[in-house]
Amino acid sequence: MTAILYEHPLNERIRNYLKLEQLFVQASECLQHNIATSHSVFFNALFAILDTLERNDIRGDLIKDLEKLEQNLVVWSQVPDINNAALEENLQKTVELSSQLKAANPQWLQLKSDKFLVGLKQRFAIQGGSSLFDLPQLQFWLKQPQAEVEAQCNYWLSLLSKISSALSLIMRFVRQRAEFMPITTDSGFYQDNGEGLILLRIKVADNLPFYPTISGNRFRYSIRFMMPCNETGRKYAKQATNFELARC
């Protein structure tokens, strides 16, 4: 039996992390296909990443989380039977990323002064403005040799690689904070204390006709299961519900 994994943040920092994580996946996946047909998704993801970095102190949050992770790894090194090789590798990577993110002029800032990207970003901000007849420079760029176009895209993403790598490392350890536990409810509703939690992970068997909607914060959270409905869009699933929950 396979399951659908749902994740829900319980604070704004993790919300931004999950958003960026998804955007990085979207941008990277586009390069696995013909960029001529996937360029809209690529640039929308790239510009959304830049907007998120500009509006929030993501770099500062990542540095703080890396420093906390470094402290935890040092403590874990004293635990008997720990995998010292894996711990040392993660510790070294954590220290390197923390040092790189503290650099005075982050690499990704170069993207803000890239004239080609600046011109595209202005048009992409307009609904329907990314049509090729509005952007002859984009159409010209897409008609360049495929290898050159892909190399340019990879270069832009490489300027964000320190952010992406730090994000992946931190979220990996966040997700490892808790194991999945089976939960059964009688009425399709579940709630619990959220103190100390930052992320909920929910697994629901993919052959079940409902999905979870989550609300909450670091003090308390609730999970209500919903079903698709042709008349109202969705309706409450009030039957007994089995799912798995990891409280990270």
CATH superfamily of 181-247: YacF-like domains (2.60.440.10)
Task: Give the residue extent of every domain in the chain.
Answer: 12-175, 181-247
Q: What was the pLDDT predicted at 140? A: 94
Domain 12-175 has CATH 1.10.3900.10: yes
Q: What was the pLDDT predicted at 129? A: 65
pTM of the model as a whole: 0.92
12-175 and 181-247 share one CATH topology? no
Please state the length of the chain: 248
Q: What was the pLDDT predicted at 91? A: 86
Q: What was the pLDDT predicted at 194? A: 87
* pLDDT per residue of the chain (248 residues) written in tens, 0 to 9: 699 999 999 999 999 999 999 999 999 999 888 888 889 999 999 999 999 998 888 999 999 999 999 998 888 877 777 777 888 888 899 999 999 998 878 899 999 999 999 999 988 887 776 778 888 999 999 999 999 999 999 999 999 999 999 999 999 999 999 999 999 998 889 999 988 999 999 999 999 899 999 988 878 999 999 988 888 878 888 888 899 999 99
